[in-house]
Amino acid sequence: MNMMQRKKLSVAFGLVAALTACGGGHSGSSSGSSTTPTLSADQTTFQSFELTPNQAYRTDWDLPASGATVSGTSYFDDSYGSLAASPSAGTQKVTNSALASIANTLPIPAAASLPERYLINGSILIGSGPAYITNISFQGTGVRADTLAVEGATTVNSTLRSNISVVPLSGTVASAPTDLVQWFNFLYFNTALLNTTTTWTAGAAYMKYTETQIGDTYTVEDYTGSTTGNTPVPVATGTTIAALMTAGGIKSGSDDTTYTLSNGAVSTINGVTTYVASAVRPNRTTPTYHTYYDLNGNVYSGNLVKDGTVLGGNEYPVAAAGTTQGFTLNYSQNIQIRLNAAAITSLKAAVTF
């Protein structure tokens, strides 16, 4: 393995719970006078990082474990969003900016903006990534994020953010805190990718948090190749899950597993005949179950993330002598990270590509 792509798992289905967003508590008299929202520590920290004029940056990349980057294949990009007002005043819709390259020599290839596809009430909907159109509200003491479909109206994924903190950055970019080093995996593992003397710009910081899935949530993916529309490449056409199970099951090359009725079960979920594997898929930071669906006369492949699951961060390399690549991958990271503008400026100055 000489390449890896940082991927976010953001999935949804029609079973997403309908929960009412609310502030983290209120104070005021019972006589009908106006109330002042009392924010939790998480909510206060969150909005201090994302409230205009601040900007919270998402980052995506595909970088080599060793050697130089390859134009057209490698990339390192970002997009940012900002809250126009505090969610204590009501739900805020945030739309991320267009993708921009953090790299100085690499363009943004089509692979950088492949959308997620969600199964909602028997239909495949395209997610709003990389725009990540999201409704942000306060729920309990946490921050709720409802990601919308590309049409900007239908909720396709819901999560709750908690344990929110902001970490200031100082010193050299190459000597970042451990969780940031692990988050960016090969950017820090491959010594050819970062200048060792560049320092963090004044005010550079990142926000980290726990993100928990709301509702059993499902996606659909290409069985082979990469497409962008709402008709992903099916496992097989003109057939059913039952027929494929009778014929010996469905082979998953990425899992190195043949899924049958001995390691999964078929049921009707929200009107769709669905196979769900019994065990989580291997080599994932988020506990994820392989799924298959009977849709429109074909069988499609996908994923389930169960309600209450903590979403994983990024897998990261750990040096290991004697292995084919010289490293193994660790899948234990379970935080999410966003950077501020000063941190992005610092990374752009530090990368060698």
Residue 101 domain-assigned (yes or no) = yes
Residue 132 lies in a domain: yes
pLDDT at 35: 64
| 247 assigned to some structural domain | yes
Could you give the CA distance from residue 204 to residue 207 in angstroms, rounded to a whole number?
11
The token pair that represents 24 in the structure block: 């983290």
192 and 98 in one domain? yes
| pLDDT tier for residue 286 given thresholds of 50, 70 and 90 | very high
In DSSP terms, which residues pair with 275 in a beta bridge?
266, 292
Alpha helices (H) along 205-280: 241-246
Query: How high is the mean pLDDT of the chain?
Result: 91
Q: In whole angstroms, give the CA distance from residue 301 to residue 223.
A: 6
User: In Å, how far from its chain's centre is CA 1?
Assistant: 22
Are residues 139 and 258 located together in one domain of the fold?
A: no
The shares of helix, strand and coil residues in the chain, as percent rounded to the nearest 5, are 15, 40, 50
**Chain centroid to CA 185: how far?**
15
Judge if 115 and 156 occupy the same domain. yes
Say if residue 141 is in the same domain as residue 249.
Answer: no
Quick one: pLDDT at residue 192? Answer: 97
Residue 2 lies in a domain: no
Domain match, 281 and 154 both? no
The domain of 201 spans 11-27+37-216+306-322+332-350
Residue 5 lies in a domain: no
User: Would the pLDDT of 308 be above 90?
Assistant: yes
317 shares a domain with 299: no
Residue with the bigger pLDDT between 6 and 52: it is 52
- What is the tally of structural domains in the chain? 2
